[in-house]
Chains A and B, each alone.
Chain A
Amino acid sequence: KQEVTQIPAALSVPEGENLVLNCSFTDSAIYNLQWFRQDPGKGLTSLLLIQSSQREQTSGRLNASLDKSSGRSTLYIAASQPGDSATYLCAVTNNAGNMLTFGGGTRLMVKP
């Protein structure tokens, strides 16, 4: 059974810092990996999707990397802003494409 772990569970940083969120998964037989953002009381917003054949994806200040063989992904946020405060979730899609397994999330607070 796939298990996805995110460390740290919570993170507080001052505005302007660059930061890295970590995601690890136990079964490397994945089709892709997605990073989502969730604001309190809201649904999830997709940030980046990395196919299993890719090493990284970038969108603005966000960069996500994937090392499938070691079962790890990182989300790099450059020059963090208070508006980045949210919970960040990673999720992996199995090879059959019918199951998304989520990590527990990292709750990020960026202080002005």
Chain B
Amino acid sequence: DAGITQSPRHKVTETGTPVTLRCHQTENHRYMYWYRQDPGHGLRLIHYSYGVKDTDKGEVSDGYSVSRSKTEDFLLTLESATSSQTSVYFCATSSGGQETQYFGPGTRLLVL
């Protein structure tokens, strides 16, 4: 494992509230990613980061923002949660953009 932790591991929230998920890594990997996993859609990339303060959008970025102020932390924020954002969120890291990605344990988010 690449020493990736995610917090919280489970969260229940209400529609319209802001939610921040945290990913922390101890491997000094340059790249970090946020995915969501949904039945019927598989894993889809939300946002990724290729360095401190350097981020870009993925396939399903609408409604999400990210920040990376330190190498080890990558935050995913849902500014105003909606029921369609109920999902399992995974963080991943890699040493390079084309290298093996290592995944965290996931965060289960339920938006009521």
Cβ of A100 and Cβ of B96 under 8 Å apart?
no
- Write the B21-59 contact mask toward A (1 if CB under 8 angstroms, else 0): 000000000000100000010111100101000001011
Determine whether B18 belongs to the interface, using a CB cutoff of 8 Å to chain A. no
Cβ of A32 and Cβ of B42 under 8 Å apart?
no
Counting chain A CB atoms within 10 Å of each CB, which of B43, B90, B103, B105 scores highest? B43
CA distance A82 to B95 in the complex (A): 33
Cβ of A98 and Cβ of B48 under 8 Å apart?
yes
Provide the main secondary structure of the chain A interface: strand
A102 partner, pick from B42, B96, B100, beta carbons under 8 A: B42
Cβ of A105 and Cβ of B105 under 8 Å apart?
no
Give the interface size bracket for B toward A: 20 to 34
Residues of the A chain whose Cβ atoms lie less than 8 Å from the Cβ of B43: 44, 89, 91, 102
Cβ of B42 and Cβ of A99 under 8 Å apart?
no
CA distance A91 to B17 in the complex (A): 33
Chain A count of residues within 8 A CB distance of the other chain = 23
Counting chain B CB atoms within 10 Å of each CB, which of A31, A96, A98 scores highest? A98
Given A42-B105, A43-B103, do A103 and B98 touch, yes or no (CB 8 Å)? no
Cβ of B102 and Cβ of A97 under 8 Å apart?
no
Given A93-B98, A97-B96, A98-B50, do A103 and B103 touch, yes or no (CB 8 Å)? no
| Across the A-B interface, the 8 shortest Cβ-Cβ residue pairs | A97-B97, A43-B103, A97-B98, A44-B103, A102-B43, A104-B42, A102-B42, A31-B98
30 A-B contacts (beta carbon < 8 Å): A31-B98, A36-B103, A41-B106, A42-B105, A42-B106, A43-B90, A43-B103, A43-B104, A43-B105, A44-B43, A44-B90, A44-B92, A44-B101, A44-B103, A45-B103, A46-B101, A46-B102, A49-B100, A89-B43, A93-B98, A96-B97, A97-B96, A98-B50, A98-B56, A98-B97, A99-B45, A99-B58, A100-B33, A104-B42, A105-B42
- Where the two chains meet, the residues of B that have a C-beta atom closer than 8 Å to any C-beta of A are 4, 33, 40, 42-45, 48, 50, 56, 58-59, 90, 92, 96-106
- Where the two chains meet, the residues of A that have a C-beta atom closer than 8 Å to any C-beta of B are 31-32, 34, 36, 41-46, 49, 89, 91, 93, 96-100, 102-105
